[in-house]
């Protein structure tokens, strides 16, 4: 017999209160959302509700590794500073006793609805089915008495009940639609779509899209939205095959840009491409702000890797990316830092017109407290450009650009604590092809205690975590040709 729901949630809250003061702060982030204790992975239920941005997340409070999933919960006024709230969901019913897996949130009639995957073992088979919880205030949630709302009957032969998860709900043409991940019998990713008038009674609608043998064995965390005249489906393929410089992680992220035929429920895709070229970016989810801008956040970590904060016994693991504003241009998904962040910056220094050479130009203590770096370099006559961040006596995090090949490269080899992974290729460096714009390289870099997000010429992003073993505060530039830094400024993010 299961323990009463309130007891399980209260137990989690008591444990969090007891343990959060015992978490080792060495690698704790300053302005990225983290769990108060324990383990965090996928963002869930990203939504704007009653004046706040709410972000839920996959959460195991009792250990810094994956375990029975709860839904952690935080809210923010500015998408930069987050307030931790009580745990929203716990595995406290028969239908979700093996975990409350990922899902989404939507407002209806002034109430907040959470739609999530409940996991239950039935006769030795894991059943993943979709469930609903509701709230009047966005803080306290009651699970629907008739859960699950989408299960074997609604799924039918369209997918596998053991691999059927991560519902994202949207409103279109006076109906609610739910996109859900599953897989084909021969292990290809497949996204299903269900339809409802009230969020509580659902019917199968269509197979929205499915992948080929090269596009992974399972597609997780689908998110469907319309932006700039295009329909966009973002998802997270497992074991997708490498394609040029794309999909070097065991688990990757992909944007599908095209058009949905709402009569047939099918999607025609014009372009597939990776969303972020870094080592640590997974399970992105989006919402809209009150002005209609599309905002995305992702788990800033990766599966099948070592987690230094867990291995060191620090009592926590995982964080979220800085939220990003999205646009579609030329059938590609473009990202830029959330505009609200700029109002939170306090600029430290600004330099202009710095001549570079093959001898490093070093700025001492330039990153002592810097959270943000803005850099514009004229490389019109150069062959290469190199930037050492967090430079100490023996180590540096290297960013470099090959002008001829148009390749931007982030390299964390021999920097900080070693991170290992299941990939055949090295897990500590990534490259992306980005052309110069009028001969210039423009970088916006958000650096936190243990993460780096690099926005490159407004076209591509590389996200990476790191764990320093030597405190590095210097920055060094190297380039050939008649290269110059036209603008270089650093800033810190204001405290709450």
Query: What are the tokens at 447?
Result: 């650096």
Selecting among 42, 276, 388, 474, the annotated active-site residue is: 42
Please provide residue 9's backbone torsions phi and psi, each rounded to the nearest 5 degrees.
Answer: -65, -45
Report CA-CA distances (Å) from 170 to 145, 175, 489. 22, 8, 40
- Is residue 280 among the annotated active site residues? no
Q: How many residues does the chain have?
A: 496
Short-list 293, 356, 362, CA closest to 323: 293
Catalytic residues: 42
């Amino acid at each position: 017999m299961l323990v009463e729901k309130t007891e399980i949630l209260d137990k989690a809250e008591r444990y969090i209160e007891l343990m959060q003061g015992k978490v080792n702060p060495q690698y704790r982030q300053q302005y990225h959302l983290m769990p108060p204790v324990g383990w965090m992975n996928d963002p869930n239920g990203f939504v704007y509700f009653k004046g706040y941005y709410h972000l839920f997340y996959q959460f195991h409070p009792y250990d810094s590794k994956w375990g029975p999933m709860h839904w952690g919960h935080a809210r923010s006024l500015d998408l930069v500073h987050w307030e931790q709230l009580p745990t929203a969901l716990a595995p406290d019913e028969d239908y979700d006793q093996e975990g409350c897996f990922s899902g989404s949130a939507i407002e209806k009639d002034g109430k907040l609805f959470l739609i999530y995957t409940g996991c239950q073992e039935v006769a030795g088979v894991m059943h993943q089915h979709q469930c609903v919880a509701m709230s009047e205030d966005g803080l306290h949630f009651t699970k629907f008495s008739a859960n699950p709302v989408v299960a074997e009957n609604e799924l039918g032969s369209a997918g596998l009940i053991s691999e059927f998860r991560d519902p994202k709900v949207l409103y279109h043409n006076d109906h609610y639609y739910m996109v859900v991940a599953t897989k084909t019998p021969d292990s290809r990713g497949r996204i299903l779509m269900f339809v409802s008038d009230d969020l509580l009674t659902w019917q199968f609608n269509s197979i929205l899209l499915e992948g080929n043998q090269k596009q992974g064995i399972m597609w997780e965390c689908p998110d469907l939205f319309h932006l700039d005249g295009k329909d966009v489906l973002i998802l997270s393929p497992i074991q997708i095959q490498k394609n040029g410089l794309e999909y070097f992680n065991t688990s990757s992220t992909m944007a599908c840009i095209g058009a949905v035929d709402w009569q047939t429920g099918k999607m025609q895709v014009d372009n597939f491409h990776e969303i972020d070229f870094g080592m640590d970016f997974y399970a992105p989810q989006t919402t809209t702000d009150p002005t209609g801008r599309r905002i995305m956040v992702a788990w800033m970590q990766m599966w099948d890797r070592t987690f230094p904060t867990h291995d060191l016994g620090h009592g926590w693991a995982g964080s979220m990316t800085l939220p990003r504003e999205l646009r579609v241009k030329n059938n590609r998904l473009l990202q830029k830092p959330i505009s609200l962040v700029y109002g939170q910056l306090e600029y430290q220094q600004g330099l202009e017109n710095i001549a570079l050479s093959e001898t490093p130009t070093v700025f001492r203590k330039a990153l002592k407290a810097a959270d943000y770096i803005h850099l514009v370099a004229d490389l019109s006559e150069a062959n290469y450009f190199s930037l050492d961040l967090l430079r100490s006596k023996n180590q540096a995090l290297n960013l470099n650009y090959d002008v001829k090949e148009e390749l931007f490269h982030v390299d964390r080899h021999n920097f900080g604590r070693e991170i290992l992974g299941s990939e055949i290729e090295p897990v500590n460096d990534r490259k992306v092809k980005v052309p110069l714009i009028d001969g210039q390289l423009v970088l916006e870099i958000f650096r936190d205690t243990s993460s780096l997000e690099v926005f490159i010429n407004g076209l591509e992003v590389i996200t990476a975590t790191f764990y320093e073993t030597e405190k590095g505060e210097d920055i060094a530039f190297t380039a050939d040709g008649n290269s110059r830094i036209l603008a270089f400024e650093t800033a810190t993010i204001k405290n709450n």
